Amino acid sequence: MSYSSLHACIQDLEKHGRLLRIKEEVDPNLEMAAIHRQVYDAGGPALLFERVKGSPFPAASNLYGTFERTEFIFRDTIAGVKKVLELKADPTNLLRKPGRYVAAPATALSALPMQSRFGAPILYGETTIDQLPQVKSWPMDGGAFITLPQVFTLPPGSKQIMQSNLGMYRIQLSGNDYVPNKEIGLHYQLHRGIGVHHTAYNQTEEPFRASIFVGGPPSHAFAAIMPLPEGLSELTFAGLLGGRRFRYLWKDGYVLSADADFVITGTIRKQGLKSEGPFGDHLGYYSLAHDFPVMDVEKVYYRKDAIWHFTAVGRPPQEDSSFGYLIHQLVEPLTPGEFPGIVEINAVDAAGVHPLLLAIGSERYMPFRERKPEEILTQANHLLGKGQTSLAKFLLIAAAGDAPNLHTHDMPHFFQHVLSRVDWRRDLHFQTNTTIDTLDYSGSGWNAGSKVVIACCGAPIRKLGTELPKDFSLPEGYSDPCFVMPGILAIKGPAFENEIEVQRLALHLDRFEMDSIPLLVLADDSQFVAATLNNFLWVTFTRANPSHDIHGVRGFVEHKHWGCEGSLIIDARIKPHHAPPLVEDEEAAKRAEVILGKYDWSPIAIGG
């Protein structure tokens, strides 16, 4: 089904029992986000907040709150989009399977953006920034933020819509030193298209105009975060996924989305930054305050039936996990073309996406001798050198063909496969003093840290165990050993003081035979780490900087290569320089429970 607006999607969800209306006034300061999180955690329905305190506009969230509901929203277009992307990855598919792909070129052409020349819904009215729902999700947030913005820019001198960039870069509406209604903060990170435009504008006298769209058909928000292949516009993709061409118009030198619920226009300053943040982000920690570009606001437009579209992010999984799920469904056919030899990849949502990337590659270099990581190391370097995968901090790559039914999304099996084969003396490959994700504070500085490739290939070299060695003990200050899964042991350590302290643990463990336990995770709470797979993934890979926090029993350096002969130790304790983890406001959570207690929404939740 194609939606002409966010309002149309809301109506469709309600018709099918997939929407809950919150009728009483709700405070956008912490309360709305708390309601959202409780409903999301229960697998509940989409939400429409009819009365938002301090704003004349209703707000909607949790539209993509389950994988099933996300597929429902795009139920009539997903199959067609897959065919277009498959054809984009390999045009010869049209010759090999004309029956399957004959309509794909026409589908792509019919999704091209179109200009609205005779008025548009977005021109219904104008408002100010302070009248928008001022959604604040976490207690330490620096102010209210737009959490599902679509930021539109064009390169200098261009009016060619197909040269545009549409990206999702968070926007701070209030707080800090922003002049109310006149200034808003623009946060964008590494490997974002808007940075290319910003650099180009800095070389010209032309003002850097930008438009921020909120709402509109659900495919528009999705298009803003979709990693697209070269030559495929976000606006075209929005048309493909939405089953309806992206409509736009020009107004006072700005491009407006004709079907958006709100459009903010303004100019991004080329010089002069302001502090943006903190913001409770999707890694489960606060993104701290840093200097970022400022946008001088010119106009705020809205449509007649405008609904403010927002989400609440935090420790994954959250609503935005559905974006990753659908992205995987759609871009899987593109992987071999983008990364030759790579069979499958999984940027692990539970670990915050960028901190952990799992991959399966092809090992074909030397089939006449013993298998060892060779070609997969080339493929790993390709992954770390291109696009969004270059932000990976831990990359675990295995070779296809070593075991049947190996998949990166079956994470327990994948970890068991790698740990039974990895040779810590040979298979660790570090990149030090490099860039990491902007939101990852485990490194040595802002955007600064390290990466490690862990590669395995060949037959198993050990059997993984879940029993401690006889007479096993830990040095003073270390306690509570808990198995996460076969071969992975979590150990509670003292509060972090320095990296040298871990060597005392490594020396102590050298007295035991621990080949069946190749990976040790040092944590502040080992029972928490071992309680669930998601806890292990989140703690281990968001709190460790490979060059600083990987240690090992009988570690050595040989010709600048580091390895260890015994168990590998990842120090996943919280360090003094880490950003604080997100903790919900108790009062807001209690108010959310009271409000939700007035509604019988469990049957709706069962329906998705």
Residue-wise pLDDT for 63-109, tens only, equals 999 999 999 999 999 988 888 887 776 777 766 777 776 677 777 77
Tell me: pLDDT of 606 over 60. no
Residue type, 139: P
- For residues 493 and 505, is the Cβ–Cβ distance under 8 A? yes
Of 137-151, 350-364, 430-444, the least confident: 430-444
Residue 339 tokens, joined = 């990364």
- 3 state SS for 538-575: HHHHHCCCHHHHEEECCEEEECCEEEECCCEEEECCCC
Count CB neighbours of 532 within 10 A: 12
Q: What is the domain range of residue 559?
A: 479-571
Tell me: pLDDT of 189 over 90. no
| Tokens 């291109």, located at residue | 386
CA distance 497 to 451: 22
Q: For the chain, what is the mean pLDDT?
A: 93
Say what the alpha-carbon torsion angle 136, 142, 146, 150 is, to the nearest 10 degrees: -160
What pLDDT does 40 receive?
A: 96
161 in any annotated domain? yes
Assess whether 189 and 143 both reside in one domain.
Answer: yes
**C-alpha to C-alpha distances, 571 to 503, 530, 556, nearest whole angstrom:** 11, 15, 18
CA distance 382 to 150: 29
- For residues 522 and 493, is the Cβ–Cβ distance under 8 A? yes
- For residues 302 and 122, is the Cβ–Cβ distance under 8 A? yes
What pLDDT does 101 receive?
A: 66
Of 89-93, 125-129, 292-296, the least confident: 89-93
β-sheet bridge partners, residue 558: 561
188 in any annotated domain? yes
Q: How does strand 519-523 pair with strand 568-571?
A: parallel
Assess whether 429 and 560 both reside in one domain.
Answer: no
**Contact partners, residue 338, CB within 8 Å, separation at least 6:** 229, 386, 387
Assess whether 78 and 186 both reside in one domain.
Answer: yes
598 in any annotated domain? no
Handedness of CA 86, 89, 93, 94 (dihedral sign): positive
Tell me: pLDDT of 262 over 60. yes
| Tokens 């993509």, located at residue | 64
Encode pLDDT of 584-599 as tens digits.
999 999 999 999 999 9
**Contact partners, residue 404, CB within 8 Å, separation at least 6:** none
550 in any annotated domain? yes
- Mean pLDDT along residues 346-374: 89
Assess whether 31 and 142 both reside in one domain.
Answer: yes
Tell me: pLDDT of 230 over 70. no
What pLDDT does 445 receive?
A: 85
114 in any annotated domain? yes
Assess whether 164 and 251 both reside in one domain.
Answer: yes
Assess whether 152 and 300 both reside in one domain.
Answer: yes
What pLDDT does 118 receive?
A: 80
Tell me how many domains the chain contains: 3
**C-alpha to C-alpha distances, 333 to 11, 70, 379, 459, nearest whole angstrom:** 33, 20, 17, 29
Percent of the chain with pLDDT over 90: 80
What pLDDT does 603 receive?
A: 52
- For residues 297 and 264, is the Cβ–Cβ distance under 8 A? yes
CA nearest to 495, candidates 479, 477, 510, 509: 477
Assess whether 483 and 452 both reside in one domain.
Answer: no
For residue 553, the domain's CATH number is 3.40.1670
Residue type, 571: D
Residue 98 tokens, joined = 């004309």
Residue 217 tokens, joined = 């058909």
For residue 124, the domain's CATH number is 2.30.110.10
In order, the DSSP letters of 235-275 are HHHHHHHHTSPPEEEEETTEEEETT-SEEEEEEEEEEEEEE
- For residues 417 and 400, is the Cβ–Cβ distance under 8 A? no
Assess whether 497 and 443 both reside in one domain.
Answer: no
Assess whether 342 and 450 both reside in one domain.
Answer: yes
Query: What is the distance between the terminal CA atoms of the chain, rounded to a whole angstrom?
Result: 17
**Contact partners, residue 5, CB within 8 Å, separation at least 6:** 121, 215, 216, 217, 259, 261, 303, 305
Domain final position from 456, 471, 505: 456
Tell me: pLDDT of 457 over 60. yes
What pLDDT does 352 receive?
A: 93
Encode pLDDT of 5-17 as tens digits.
999 999 999 999 9
Assess whether 488 and 534 both reside in one domain.
Answer: yes
Phi/psi of residue 592, each to 5°?
A: -65, -40
Angle formed by the axes of helices 321-331 and 218-225, nearest 10°: 80
SS3 94: helix
CA nearest to 316, candidates 345, 284, 286, 346: 284
What pLDDT does 366 receive?
A: 72
583 in any annotated domain? no
- For residues 60 and 46, is the Cβ–Cβ distance under 8 A? yes
Tell me: pLDDT of 191 over 60. no
Assess whether 14 and 111 both reside in one domain.
Answer: yes
Tell me: pLDDT of 504 over 80. yes
What pLDDT does 535 receive?
A: 98
> Where residue 381 falls among pLDDT bands split at 50, 70, 90?
very high
- For residues 567 and 490, is the Cβ–Cβ distance under 8 A? no
588 in any annotated domain? no
Can you give the length of the chain in residues?
608
CA distance 46 to 37: 11
CA of residue 326 relative to chain centroid, distance: 12
β-sheet bridge partners, residue 520: 489, 569
416 in any annotated domain? yes
Encode pLDDT of 524-563 as tens digits.
999 999 999 999 999 999 999 999 999 999 999 999 999 9
More confident residue, 2 or 524: 524
Assess whether 239 and 95 both reside in one domain.
Answer: yes
What pLDDT does 501 receive?
A: 87
